[in-house]
Structure formats: structure tokens, C-alpha cells
Amino acid sequence: MNYADFWYVLAFFVLLSQIVATAILLSRLLKGAKRRSPLLPQVADPDLMGKVSVVVPTLNEAERISPCLAGLSRQSYELREVIVVDSNSQDGTPDLVVTAQQNDPRFRVMTDDTLPPGWVGRPWALHTGYLNISKHSEWFLGLDADTEPQPGLIASIVRVAEAEGYDMVSLAPQFILQYPGEWCLQPALLMTLLFRFESAGVDASSSSRVMANGQCFLCRRSVLAKLDGYTTAAGSFCDDVTLARNIATAGYKVGFFDGSKTIKVRMYQGAKETWHEWGRSLDLKDAANSSQVWGDLLFLLCVQALPLPMLLLSAWLLYFGNTYPTIVTIFSLNAFLSLLRYGMLIAIAPSYSGSSFFFWLSPFADIPAVLRIFLSSLNKPTKWRGRSYL
């Protein structure tokens, strides 16, 4: 085989892989056309009174938790209590909760016990909160400290869960971004999830494809009791997805909905923090077997990382007269994938608070985003939210 034949065979192999991956992608995106509309805030009725206990895990969240506390105070009587489980913060986080408690007696703060072997801090704090919620609450709602619950959030999510028989529901929030770098990188990282899993508002076809978001994670207390709280996700750095898939595997009905009109979140400050903190868990290897992780990575390579460079390369070859059918097909397919990518960008624009010119440049961050998933797949995190796990 000469040099030219080698590159032709390689191009044909890449094209074949992209065709298969594109078919898989389209089968997922077409389901999204019939997805549930975003949940809307609802006013609580008396029959919801005291049904929900909220648990918020914290570790040095003083700079971010105030909007969360304020948003929870605006929830109605469906909210029985808010337990903030603090992991020995050194920045005054518990003091903010105590101050909030003076105006709203539903708040209380507690400190979790020393982290046991085999546990990651976040699931341990949530498990501690679960063990301490009222036995009269029917629902457990885990919320992250960086969220901004909107009025009517809890009534909305409980209403849909009860009306449609869901045992666990989590919400995709509306993201708050500020700096140019994160406006480019964060949507590209989000797209790695949208390409691999069903759209928010579409029920997963199997437990291995269940998606969940621990920033807003509602579950029947009785279901958590049968799974012994967060025990099955104790050592997971993506405990939300791990627990949700375990719940689905146990035969319970699990949903993942668009909550962009009911909850907002400011996750990370800038592109650097987004790259390190969010990127290290997006491979979801704690919730999947290795074949799924690496299969998904190959899939992302074909439909997200390669389209732009393959489009440019094939356009260059066509310009210089290389009109082989394989080259023409590569150009056409990757032009389609690039247009599809921008179409997806338009579709997710409502998932972001405000707008930025740099948002529309995020497809140029697709290669770094897929690279981040690859790097994360190679290594297990050793640090998370200021804690070391060695």
C-alpha cells in the first residue's frame, strides 16, 4: 500500500465511522423534537403542604449560597424544611444559614461527621441530610448551593412527579455565565452531554442512558429508604447520575426535565474553573462501564470534534480538484454536522441567562471539550471541592 492509498483508506474509515455516529445522533435528536416543554413555576395547593424536605450540601459556599437561601425562602408551604449540611466550612457559610433562619424557621444547619472511607464528600453530605429529614416528608430534594431557585420551583417539580408517577426527577437549569472564555467553553462541554444522552424532557430508553442533574434532584423518600440513601453512590464523583441509574435499574420511574424557567445556576467562575471542575466528571465513568465510556468518546470524536476540521480539509481538497466520491461525501456529511451543531446552539440558547457573542463561537471549542472528556476518562479525580481523595 502506497502513501496515497493509506490516506484514502483512512479517510474512508473515518467517513464510515462518522456515518454510523451521525445515524445514532439523529435517532436521539429526533426524539427531542417531541420532548416535554420546560416546566413552569406553579402555585402550591394545600394538598402539597409539608411534602418536601430540601437538603443543601455546603463546603465554603459563603460567596455563592445567598441567592439559594433567598430562593428557598420564596417557596411556599409545600417546603417543610431546609437542612444545610455543612462540611466544616472555614468561610462563614453556616453563619449565613443561621441568619436566614432568623427570618425563616424552616432553615437549619448541621455539620456532617468525618468523611468515612470510600465516600466522596458531596454524596456523604446528602446522605447525612437524608438521614435527618422529617419522617413526615414524602419527598427529598437535593439542591446545590450555587443554584437560584425561582418562586414556584418546588410546587412545579412535585406536581409533575406526582401527576405522572415519577419516583425521581431532576432538572436541567438555566446557566448564568459571565466571562468570554466560559461563554465559549461551557456550551461546548454541555453539548457533549446533549449528544450522548436524550434531551431534557425525553425519558431515557434504558437505565444505562439515564441522565440526571444533582443541582436539583427530587426523589421519593421511600425510594431512597429502599436504596439506603446515597450508599450506592458513595464513592462516585457523579453521584447524581450514578444514583439515578441505580434507581432506574431498581425499577422506579426516573425523569429528567427542562427546568430553565424554574431554577438558575452559576456553576463556575471563568473558563479555567469550568475546565477543571466540571470537565473532570463529564465522562460519567463512575456511572458507566468502560466500554460505554470509551464508546461515547469515539462517538463524540466523530460527531463533535471532527466535523469542523474534516469540513475544512475536504473543502481544501475539493478546491484543488480532488473530487473523489469519498472526499465529496466527507465534505457533505461534515457540512451537515456543522449546520446541525449550530442548530443545536440555537436550541439551547434559552438554557442561558443573557447572551454573548462568544456563545456563538462555542463550536470552535468542541475539540478542547472532547479532549477534556478524554483526559477525564484516563484519570480518577484526586481532588474535589477542596478535598483530597488519595
pLDDT digits 0-9 by tens, 148-196: 999 999 999 999 999 999 999 999 999 999 999 999 999 999 999 999 9
- Give 384's pLDDT tier (boundaries 50, 70, 90): low
Supply the pLDDT for residue 4.
66
Residue 382: inside a domain, yes or no?
no
- Give 281's pLDDT tier (boundaries 50, 70, 90): confident
DSSP designation for 287? G
CB 297 within 8 A of CB 374: yes
Closest CA to 141 of 263, 53, 50, 76: 53
**Whose grid coordinates read 465554603?**
60
> Among 252, 287, 322, where does a domain finish?
287
CB hemisphere CA count around 250 (13 angstroms): 18
Instruction: Tell me how far CA of residue 352 lies from CA of 177, 190, 273, in angstroms.
Output: 7, 11, 18
Question: Dihedral of the CA atoms 261, 265, 269, 270 (nearest 10)?
Answer: -40
> Among 224, 253, 287, where does a domain finish?
287
Same domain? 303 vs 163? no
Kindly report the backbone phi and psi dihedral angles of residue 287, in degrees, each rounded to the nearest multiple of 5, phi listed first: -110, 10
Same domain? 270 vs 309? no
Kindly report the length of the chain.
390
Q: Which domain holds residue 68?
A: 46-287
Residue 353: inside a domain, yes or no?
yes
Q: What is the pLDDT of residues 236-271, one digit of tens each?
A: 999 999 999 999 999 999 999 999 999 999 999 999
Residue 390 has pLDDT above 50, yes or no: no
Same domain? 217 vs 353? no
Q: Which three cell numbers stand for residue 51?
A: 411534602
Q: What percent of the chain has pLDDT over 70?
A: 96
Same domain? 112 vs 245? yes
Q: What is the mean pLDDT of residues 287-310?
A: 95
> Among 272, 287, 302, where does a domain finish?
287
**Whose grid coordinates read 446557566?**
175
Residue 157: inside a domain, yes or no?
yes
Residue 1 has pLDDT above 60, yes or no: no
Q: What is the pTM of this model?
A: 0.93
Q: What is the mean pLDDT of residues 368-385?
A: 84
Supply the pLDDT for residue 2.
63
Can you tell me whether residue 101 is helix, strand or coil?
helix
Beta pairing partners, 264 = 148, 174
Q: What is the pLDDT of residues 192-242, one digit of tens each?
A: 999 999 888 888 888 989 999 999 999 999 999 999 999 999 999 999 999
Supply the pLDDT for residue 389.
55
DSSP designation for 221? H
Region for residue 201 given its phi and psi (left: phi exceeds 0; alpha: psi -120 to 50; beta: otherwise): left
Same domain? 191 vs 309? no
Q: What is the mean pLDDT of the chain?
A: 93
Q: What is the mean pLDDT of residues 48-64?
A: 95
Supply the pLDDT for residue 234.
95
Supply the pLDDT for residue 385.
62
Q: How far apart are CA 114 and CA 156, in angstroms?
A: 35
Question: Dihedral of the CA atoms 127, 133, 137, 140 (nearest 10)?
Answer: -30
Residue 126: inside a domain, yes or no?
yes
Supply the pLDDT for residue 386.
60
Supply the pLDDT for residue 127.
97
Kindly report the backbone phi and psi dihedral angles of residue 15, in degrees, each rounded to the nearest multiple of 5, phi listed first: -60, -45
Same domain? 129 vs 79? yes
Q: What percent of the chain has pLDDT over 90?
A: 82
Same domain? 271 vs 315? no
Q: Which three cell numbers stand for residue 249?
A: 435499574
Residue 63: inside a domain, yes or no?
yes
Q: Which three cell numbers stand for residue 180?
A: 468570554
Q: How far apart are CA 217 and CA 202, in angstroms?
A: 17
How distant is the alpha carbon of residue 59 from its chain centre?
20
Supply the pLDDT for residue 6.
75
Same domain? 157 vs 268? yes
Q: What is the pLDDT of residues 6-40, one digit of tens each?
A: 777 888 899 999 999 999 999 999 888 788 899 99
Q: How far apart are CA 245 and CA 239, in angstroms?
A: 10
Residue 3: inside a domain, yes or no?
no
Same domain? 126 vs 234? yes
Same domain? 60 vs 28? no
Higher local confidence (pLDDT), 315 or 201:
315
Q: How many domains does the chain have?
A: 2
CB 224 within 8 A of CB 281: no
Same domain? 238 vs 349? no
Residue 40: inside a domain, yes or no?
no
Beta pairing partners, 139 = 52, 220
Q: What is the mean pLDDT of residues 292-302?
A: 96
CB 159 within 8 A of CB 139: no
Same domain? 248 vs 363? no
CB 143 within 8 A of CB 54: yes
**Whose grid coordinates read 437535593?**
142
Q: How far apart are CA 239 and CA 261, in angstroms?
A: 25
Q: What is the pLDDT of residues 88-109, one digit of tens each?
A: 999 999 999 999 999 999 999 9
CATH of the domain at 142: 3.90.550.10
Residue 8: inside a domain, yes or no?
no
